[in-house]
Structure 1
Amino acid sequence: MVVDFYTKTNCELCDEARIILEMVQQQYGFQLREHDIYEGSDQMFETYHLIIPAIQVDGELVAYGNIDLETVELYFKSEKNRK
Structure 2
Amino acid sequence: MEVHYYTRKKCQLCEEGKLLLRLLQKEYAFEMIEKDIDSSDELTEKFGLMIPVVEISGEIIQYGRIDLPALEEKLKENLK
TM-score by length of 1: 0.90
- Partner SS, residue 18 of structure 2: helix
User: Match of 1:69?
Assistant: 68
The sequence identity of aligned pairs, in percent, is 39
Corresponding position: 1:11 with 2:11: yes
Cα RMSD between the aligned structures?
1.0
Moved over 3 A (4+): none
Question: Within 2, Cα distance between the matches of 1:18 and 1:32?
Answer: 9
Q: How does 1:22-37 map to 2 (within 5 A)?
A: 22-37=22-37
Unaligned runs of at least 5 residues, structure 1:
none
Segment drifting more, 68-77 vs 14-23 = 68-77
Question: Within 2, Cα distance between the matches of 1:35 and 1:78?
Answer: 23
Query: What is the CA distance between 1:50 and its match in structure 2?
Result: 1.5
Matched positions, count: 80
Query: What is the CA distance between 1:79 and its match in structure 2?
Result: 2.1
Amino acid at match of 1:74: E
